[in-house]
Amino acid sequence: MDRLTARQLFDGVHERMALRWVSGMRGEGRVLERGATTTRRPSLIGYLNVIYPNKVQIVGTEELNYLDGLDSRQRWEAIHKIAAYQPVALIVTKDQAIPSDLREVAEETNTPLWISAKRGHELLTWMQYHLARMLAPRITLHGVFLEVFSIGVLITGESGSGKSELALELISRGHRLVADDATEFTLIAPDVIDGTCPDLLQDLLEVRGLGVLNVREMFGHTAVKQSKYLRLVVHLKPLREGEDTDALTRLTGDVGHHEVFEVPVPRITIPVAPGRNLAVLVEAAVRNHMLKSKGIDPAQTFIDRQAHQMRRLPPW
């Protein structure tokens, strides 16, 4: 999602972070937006900062001691300055006593004020992760997403190319379904793309002629997986009559890249024709991809052997 309200954030983390909402309930509509800090120094969440304020400010022991060390006038100015920046929330750590003036200003300015039994670094670390995932860029791609030999594989192709039938065959061979037809991908790190299934399609696979199948009920709980990192795209391409393949492609395979969030994901194109066992071909493609990731390239090995053999031939 592109934005997150204070209420949505609280509902998402209050059980895990032992949060209680003590003041400023009317500020539940305050919003965190993706990219809100691109022109500012701080992150979305951090310890109390009155110069470059974070959108979610953590008030720990040191921060309360800092406020206690100010005279009454400076303290009044500091607290009102914090509230004037309209943070999404203030979080007091370790169940410390909340100063009455901080509570009053939060109520007057509709600033959500939360308290937690957790330590500051626990709140900071976990909520940074939570916010990064909740506000990360998302996209929905058409295809079937599976876990094949522990690798996240997205099977794409034209409508009617046999993606769902192939997925059903792979599931029957012990691999796992993540999502059918529409997979939601999230960029959770600069080069890490996580794929999940929309709630509406959870555990379901649509196969022409059979209708919608519940994979979990048919094959058991181990036949489905909640999420998986995208590592490989397998594209099914109908083999046209008279279409020929160049010599290099026959040697190396039809390999390329598919960009998702400007991240190049390896893509292998498999021609579809009657009599071809696509499930075996996909398994072989995944195994070969795993070998390449370890630096083992069979095609390059063959090329090197051929070059070595040619060097051994006597000159004409």
- State yes or no: is 181 an active-site residue: yes
Least Cα distance to 258 among 156, 176, 188, 158 occurs for 156
Active-site position among 3, 16, 142, 208: 142
Active-site position among 55, 163, 175, 289: 163
- State yes or no: is 250 an active-site residue: yes
Q: Which residues contact 51 (CB under 8 A, 6 or more apart)?
A: none
Active-site position among 30, 175, 180, 181: 181
- State yes or no: is 240 an active-site residue: no
The answer to whether 232 and 268 have CB atoms below 8 angstroms apart is: yes
Token pair, residue 21, equals 């909402």
Range 27-31 contact pairs with CB under 8 angstroms and sequence separation of 24 or more = 27/89, 27/109, 27/110, 27/111, 27/112, 28/112, 29/5, 30/5, 30/6, 30/86, 30/87, 30/88, 30/89, 30/112, 31/3, 31/4, 31/5, 31/6, 31/88
Active-site position among 250, 257, 287, 305: 250
The answer to whether 194 and 228 have CB atoms below 8 angstroms apart is: yes
- State yes or no: is 308 an active-site residue: no
Catalytic residues, which ones?
142, 163, 181, 250
